[in-house]
Structure 1
Amino acid sequence: MATPSTTVRPDAAPFVHDGDGPVGFLLSHGFTGSSASMRPWGLHLAEQGHTVRIPRLPGHGTSWQDLNRTPWQAWYEEVDKALDELRERCDRVVAGGLSMGGCLALRLAEQRPGDIDAVIVVNPAVASKRLDLKFVPVLQHVVPSLPGIGNDIKKPGIDEYSYDRLPLKALTSMTRMWSDVRANLSSVTAPLLFFRSAEDHVVDPLSRELILAGVSSQTVEDVTLDNSYHVATLDYDAPLIFERTDAFVARHVLGSARA
């Protein structure tokens, strides 16, 4: 049997840009995805003069078998390390993410509130109404993977370069991270910009309900994306995400002093 590849695909490589402004952005991709899903957002922010980091989460961009050997703590350690780097370079830091990446951004805001000046999430996942998820902890010992969940994009011809299989051990680990993040949502006090696609075939509305009800942020902007599916950062509404990000940061990050 051939050994699964651990070579990182070029389209999944981390994105690094050092800007000349005071704000740094840490953007995290989603489960089984890659930095390609965040690159247009990162490029836009770089053009505005911001410092940007889009890490490659461990187990991603290589093979789904590799991801199946990677616990959620490794994903969090990667974004935590990137936050350390940004705090050394930038006066203020914004944590953002898509899907599971949004969950990681929220955890950073929970664990390190003094280091996060704002949180921007796109279709974040912290829970699911899917009843079959209850069986995954058992099913993972029977089959290693199921068909993939990637490329839920309305715009034709776009590829987020995700795995075509859903690794079940990694999925089980992610649901444990969800529980951890849900239990600490009240610790999130940073301004929050929340993007939610009206039609999302991957993350159901439960996550939005729990996050908006759970955080302690005084400033919350809830934006509906009417012309995108789950991977909205690559979809028709991507320009709206970029525009609202700029306005939100101008008002709530650049326009206010750190506490």
Structure 2
Amino acid sequence: MDNAIDHAPLHHDGDDGIGVVVCHGFTGSPHSMRPWARHLAAQGWSVRLPLLPGHGTTWRDANRTTWQDWYGEVERALTDLRQHCSSVYAVGLSMGGTLALRLAQQHPDLAGIVLVNPAVTMLRWDAKLLPVLGLVVPSVPAIGNDIAKPGVDEGAYPRTPVRAAAQLRRFQAVVRADLPKVAQPVLLYHSADDHVVEPVNSEIVLKGISSADVREVVLHDSYHVATLDHDAPQIFDGSVAFIQRLSS
């Protein structure tokens, strides 16, 4: 298995009219989503896995971006896929799940979404202090590589950019407020043991959305970055079955 970190975006054109936008998480990169994106592409589907602005370089670059920059990048991927796909889906990990939810809120014709440990709130006591903290402290220690599987590196930043984290918190508030706008089919995976995103995040999503077609799957053998963990095959195969069912 090749463990080299690859931050590059992935662009694949399929031939059967299905497209998938794949969204990576905060301070991460396409590396954490590449195996999933490749699995989707192997079905003959068109796949876009963009590199979000301020990611895949240094944490200092993230502090110069806004949540609108991140969302704009995945929305451009959606627009691109719409040009030659009859149905488009979105999948995402952590903040990537938040981005997928926003796509569903802003684009009712999105066919469905798959979420893995979506992040729509921060319960840490100091989360409310992020805007002020960002004025004096550019970064804080990061919680990276929350993966149960030994020897796996997600390639995330070694520091958490504080101003970018404040942007994430603002973005989460926007997405939480608009959760009732999500009416598409939803497949939600969340890890029973997640040291980054609190379990209440998935509960908030499930209670807030308006979707009638909803399935929740608890992952018992993975931590936060489940797309690179023991349960990754379950996520990959489950998302394929989900998209095939909705596209048949």
TM-score range, shorter-chain basis? over 0.9
For structure 1, the residue ranges without an aligned partner over 5 or more in a row are: 1-8
Match of 2:205 in 1: 211
Of 138, 159, 179, 2:132 maps to: 138
1:172 matched residue in structure 2: 166
Q: Please tell me whether residue 192 in structure 1 is matched to residue 186 in structure 2.
A: yes
SS in 1 for 2:242: helix
The alpha carbon displacement at 1:10 in A equals 7.2
Give the Cα–Cα distance (whole angstroms) in 2 for the partners of residues 168 and 247 of structure 1: 38
Is 1:157 the equivalent of 2:135? no
> 2:241 & 2:5 partners in 1: Cα distance?
32
Match of 1:148 among 139, 142, 158: 142
State the secondary structure of the residue aligned to 1:119: strand
TM (normalized to structure 1)? 0.93
Number of residues paired by the alignment?
245
Task: Report the Cα distance in structure 2 between the residues aligned to 1:124 and 1:154, rounded to whole angstroms.
Answer: 18
Does the CA-based 8 Å contact 1:129-1:206 persist in structure 2? Answer: no
Residue 193 of structure 1 deviates from its aligned partner by: 0.3
Asked whether 1:232 is paired with 2:210, we answer no
Superposed CA deviations along residues 148-207 of structure 1, whole A, max 9, x for unmatched, are 122111111111111000000000011000000001000001100000001000000121
The answer as to whether partners of 2:192 and 2:199 remain within 8 angstroms in 1 is no
Match of 2:39 in 1: 44
Partner residue in 2 for 1:105: 100
Identity %: 55
1:210 & 1:111 partners in 2: Cα distance?
19
Identify which range, 241-250 or 74-83, moves more after superposition.
241-250
Confirm or deny that 1:77 pairs with 2:64.
no
SS at structure 2 position matched to 1:61: coil
CA deviation string 1:20-79 (max 9, x = no partner): 122111010000001000000011111111111100000000110000010110000000
SS in 2 for 1:151: coil
Amino acid at match of 2:143: I
Alignment counterpart, residue 18 of structure 2, candidates 5, 16, 23 = 23
Task: Indicate the RMSD between aligned Cα atoms, in angstroms.
Answer: 1.1
